[in-house]
């Protein structure tokens, strides 16, 4: 198969292209600025030039266009020239999914969260399907072997407890930017946010008995959005995601505060993130070089799932396990579906459970090491790009 790959400098692009080539596909990259998502004449011409190319038999050269995440302008140009478009979405939330182009018959869109997939299908986007996310097993297996060879076959640990990810304590924390809410509405909402922090794997903001839709409608009176007409955005869901992100801001901060009090804890995050006492911020770790080393050489890696992911397995989970790292993660339904708690990774069901399991696994090194080995094996067997791509590219 000949694939026209849209490359937007996404961190996992080369991993995916490498797997495509090892599967026998021919891959050619196309780099354009598609950030405003409009199909301009210039962008259309760039794609059309490639769509018009033929092979020695006169057959159209490319079989499909591929991208990580969904680009409405790619869908639009592919629909115009009847070219299949495959997109694999790893961001959540991903607002361009609400584009009117999501129903174009040329689309083959894959999302990693079953609840999101069901929601998109219920809105008429039958082009959206489900797939978990993947990793480059070859690269990471070789990387881990090399690291261990350099240290005589033993893991030389850099950290006891490590969190790698965003704290969202910046401009992306939209809830704290709301200028005014009536005291009763804000008090009720803050109480639900605090309660949600104590319960992993259940979304309070879609539970009518906990946070009724009437509260969402009240919030919409005070949180306004610019409607450009380009998308058919579910603004109720946007409100819910603002609240979910606020929960994530709070719980990542609060969990790390408690970790810093009890354990030798570091975080790899934006250098300008607000400091957390007892937790050393070591900055951003590059995806292909530093990140696997951090995961492999941390005794415990924490995953505190972004609450916008209501059921799925985030790429961070796959990345930690594929690097041979021990993972302690908050519960989501699909993590518990694919992995066995205490065998492939450790699952926490509350903040208190996360703290107690951290203490336990720091004291049980052999058990922790075996779990990390098991987790890596399971990811390589079931979630390697070479395992998932044949289904992603089949239509």
Q: What is the pLDDT of residues 199-228, one digit of tens each?
A: 999 999 999 999 999 999 999 999 988 776
* pLDDT score, position 228: 67
- Inform me whether the pLDDT recorded for 166 exceeds 80: yes
Higher pLDDT, 230 or 249: 249
Distances in whole angstroms, Cα of residue 260 to Cα of each of 197, 266, 281, 285, 365: 18, 8, 11, 20, 20
* pLDDT score, position 393: 97
- Inform me whether the pLDDT recorded for 113 exceeds 80: yes
- State which CATH number among 3.40.50, 3.30.379, 1.10.260, 3.30.460 fits the domain covering 2-131: 3.40.50
Residue 212 contacts residue 192 (beta carbons within 8 Å):
no
Residue 101 contacts residue 122 (beta carbons within 8 Å):
no
User: 310-340 burial by CB neighbour count: b if 16+ within 10 A, else e?
Assistant: bbbbbbbbbbbbbbbbbbbbbbbbbbeebbe
- What is Dmax (Cα atoms) for the chain? 71
- Inform me whether the pLDDT recorded for 37 exceeds 80: yes
Fold match between domain 2-131 and domain 137-385: yes
In sequence order, what are the beta bridge partners of 4?
28, 65
The CA distance from 331 to 312, in Å, is: 10
The CA distance from 19 to 4, in Å, is: 15
Domain residue ranges of the chain, discontinuous segments joined by +? 2-131, 137-385
Sign of CA dihedral 290, 293, 332, 19: positive
* pLDDT score, position 229: 67
Percent of the chain with pLDDT over 70: 99
Q: Once rounded to an integer, what is the mean pLDDT over residues 342-365? A: 98
In sequence order, what are the beta bridge partners of 67?
87
Mean pLDDT, the chain, as a whole number? 95
pLDDT band at 150 (very low <50, low <70, confident <90, very high): confident
* pLDDT score, position 179: 87
* pLDDT score, position 173: 83
Q: What is the pLDDT of residues 98-112, one digit of tens each?
A: 999 999 999 999 999
Q: Once rounded to an integer, what is the mean pLDDT over residues 5-24? A: 97
Sign of CA dihedral 237, 203, 165, 178: positive
* pLDDT score, position 84: 98
Question: Of 145-154, 206-215, 232-241, which has the strongest mean pLDDT?
Answer: 206-215
Nearest CA among 173, 200, 192 for reference residue 357: 200
Nearest CA among 280, 279, 324 for reference residue 301: 324
Helices 137-150 + 13-22 axis angle, to 10: 110
Task: Name which CATH class applies to 137-385.
Answer: alpha beta
pLDDT band at 231 (very low <50, low <70, confident <90, very high): confident
Nearest CA among 165, 166, 355, 155 for reference residue 263: 355
- Inform me whether the pLDDT recorded for 285 exceeds 90: yes
Task: Tell me 92's DSSP state.
Answer: S
In sequence order, what are the beta bridge partners of 378?
none
Higher pLDDT, 265 or 35: 265
């Amino acid at each position: 198969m000949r694939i026209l790959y849209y490359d937007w400098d996404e961190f996992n692009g080369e991993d995916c292209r490498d797997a495509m080539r090892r599967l026998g596909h021919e891959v050619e990259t196309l780099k354009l600025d598609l950030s405003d998502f409009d199909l301009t004449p210039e962008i259309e011409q760039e794609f059309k030039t490639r769509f018009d190319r033929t092979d020695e038999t006169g057959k159209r050269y490319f079989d499909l266009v591929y991208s990580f995440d969904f680009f409405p302008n790619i869908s639009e140009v592919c629909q115009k020239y009847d070219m299949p478009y495959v997109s694999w979405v790893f961001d959540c939330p991903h607002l361009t999914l609400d584009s009117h182009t999501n129903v174009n018959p040329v689309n083959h869109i894959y999302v990693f969260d079953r609840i999101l997939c069901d929601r998109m299908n219920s809105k008429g986007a039958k082009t959206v399907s489900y797939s978990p996310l993947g990793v480059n097993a070859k690269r990471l297996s070789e990387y881990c072997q090399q690291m261990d060879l350099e240290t005589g076959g033993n893991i030389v640990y850099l950290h006891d407890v490590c969190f790698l990810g965003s704290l969202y304590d910046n401009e992306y924390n939209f809830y704290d930017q709301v200028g005014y809410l009536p005291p009763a509405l804000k008090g009720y909402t803050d109480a639900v946010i605090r309660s949600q922090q104590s319960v992993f794997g259940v979304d309070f903001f879609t539970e009518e008995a906990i946070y009724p839709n009437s509260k969402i409608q009240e919030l919409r009176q005070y949180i306004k959005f610019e409607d450009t007409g380009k998308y058919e955005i579910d603004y109720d869901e946007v409100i819910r995601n603002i609240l979910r992100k606020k929960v994530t801001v709070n719980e990542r901060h609060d969990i790390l505060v408690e970790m810093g009090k009890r354990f030798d804890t570091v975080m790899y995050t934006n250098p300008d993130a607000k400091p957390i006492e007892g937790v050393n911020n070591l900055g951003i770790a590059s995806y292909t070089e530093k990140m696997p080393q951090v995961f492999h050489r941390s005794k415990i890696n924490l995953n505190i799932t972004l609450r916008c992911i209501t059921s799925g397995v985030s790429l961070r989970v796959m990345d930690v396990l594929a690097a041979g790292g021990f993972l302690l993660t908050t519960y989501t339904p699909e993590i518990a579906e694919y992995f066995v708690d205490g065998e492939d990774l450790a699952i926490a069901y509350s903040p208190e459970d996360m703290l107690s399991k951290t203490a336990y696994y720091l004291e049980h090194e052999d058990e922790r090491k075996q779990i990390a080995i098991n987790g890596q094996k399971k990811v390589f067997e079931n979630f390697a790009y070479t395992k998932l791509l044949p289904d992603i590219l089949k239509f």
